[in-house]
Amino acid sequence: MSTPPSQTPADAPFVAIQGVSFAYPTLTGALGRQILTGVDLEVRRGQLVALMGGSGSGKTTILRALGGQIKPQAGTVMVDGQNVHALKHDQLFALRRRMGMLFQFGALFTDMSVFDNVAFPLREHTDLPESAIRDLVLMKLNAVGLRGAHALMPSEVSGGMARRVALARAIALDPQLIMYDEPFAGLDPISLGQIANLIRTLGEALGAASIVVTHDVEESLSIVDYVYFLAEGKIVAKGTPDEIRASELPYVKQFVSGAPDGPVRFHYPAPDYATDLGLGARQ
């Protein structure tokens, strides 16, 4: 399968999100809690961008909007010059073939071997003979250091290995946009370093735009080119890793230093402590 030529000139942003707002609609059509509010974001080719923020700040939702899995109520999501949410089903699927996504826990198909997982996108989207697929799969697995594990089942590999297999699967079709959803979550330091290194080198090798959704400050600040900070669905800060480290914004400072209390409170909103314990009545 030949990759369709890119629509955008080389220096234009490959991903451009403008004023995106989103709330999950319920089954009956009403809107639930607001997840994203007026998000602007850009990623260029070959650039590695981190989306940081606490749990529930809407980071993963941005990835879902990029893949066209959810439709924002306002704003535009452009990938390679195409408005993701104006595309027809077939066009969206054609665009998705040029995207790779690494899910939080790998999302490997549990009924297939490591080899078949990586071969899956190739078998679904190309007419390559089985011998060519074998070569490609082994090359992709070799790139993540797991050529020797091709015959194992997903249940037989560790969390870090599963993540690397999923990475090999995500890059099987040489994507131009790679999205990583919490790639560092729950990994031991060695696996974490391996994944971080792979994210950096694979993006460079493919010349792809990469987006890493993460709350791991240390690891991501050391590998990314640019950082967006999300809090409660809004971009509250952005800049290069050095600018973020030097930031005086209270929220960013708290996040980078990991202080338990600050703009983000330790306590969930609650009535006054004394009142809650029934002490108020005695006074």
Partner 1 sequence: MRLLIEAIGHWLIDAVAKVGYGARLFGLTFRHSGMAFSRFRLTIAQINFIGNYSLVIIVVSGLFVGFVLGLQGYNTLQRYGSEQALGLLVALSLVRELGPVVTALLFAGRAGTSITAEIGLMKAGEQLSAMEMMAVSPIARVLAPRFWAGVISMPLLAALFSAVGVFGGYIVGVQMIGVDDGAFWSQMQNGVDWKEDVGNGVIKSIVFGIAVTFIAVFEGYDSQPTPEGVSRATTRTVVSSSLAVLFLDFILTALMFSRE
The residues of the shown chain that bind partner 1, judged by CB under 8 A, are 27-28, 67, 69, 93-94, 96-97, 99, 101, 103-105, 107-110, 120-121, 124-125, 166, 169
The least distance separating partner 1 from the CB of residue 95, rounded to whole angstroms, comes to 8
For the bound state, the minimum distance from the C-beta of residue 80 to partner 1, rounded and expressed in Å, comes to 15
Alpha helices in 144-249 (DSSP H): 159-170, 189-206, 217-223, 241-245
Would you say 52 and 214 are in contact if contact means Cβ atoms under 8 Å apart?
yes
Least gap, CB of 26 to partner 1 (angstroms): 9
> Could you tell me the smallest distance in angstroms from the CB atom of residue 66 to partner 1?
10
Q: Is the Cβ of residue 71 or residue 243 nearer to partner 1 in the bound state?
A: 71
Cα–Cα distance for residue pair 279/274, rounded to 1 Å: 5
Residues 37 and 39: their CA atoms lie apart, in Å, by: 6
Closer Cβ to partner 1, 112 or 152, answer by number: 112
Cα separation of 187 and 216, whole Å?
A: 11
| Cβ 177 to partner 1 shortest distance, Å | 11
CB 64, min distance to partner 1, A: 8
Residue closer to partner 1 by CB (options 105, 241) is: 105
Residue 183: exposed, middle, or buried by beta-carbon count in 10 A (0-12, 13-18, 19+)?
buried
Shortest CA distance to 163 belongs to which of 219, 216, 112, 102?
102
C-alpha 118/C-alpha 249 separation (Å) is 43
Instruction: Please give the backbone phi and psi of residue 93, each rounded to the nearest 5 degrees, phi first.
Output: -65, -35
Of 62 and 166, the one with the shorter C-beta distance to partner 1 is 166
Task: Pick between residue 44 and residue 64 the one whose CB is nearest to partner 1.
Answer: 64
Nearest to partner 1 of 97, 200 (CB atom): 97
DSSP state of 278: T
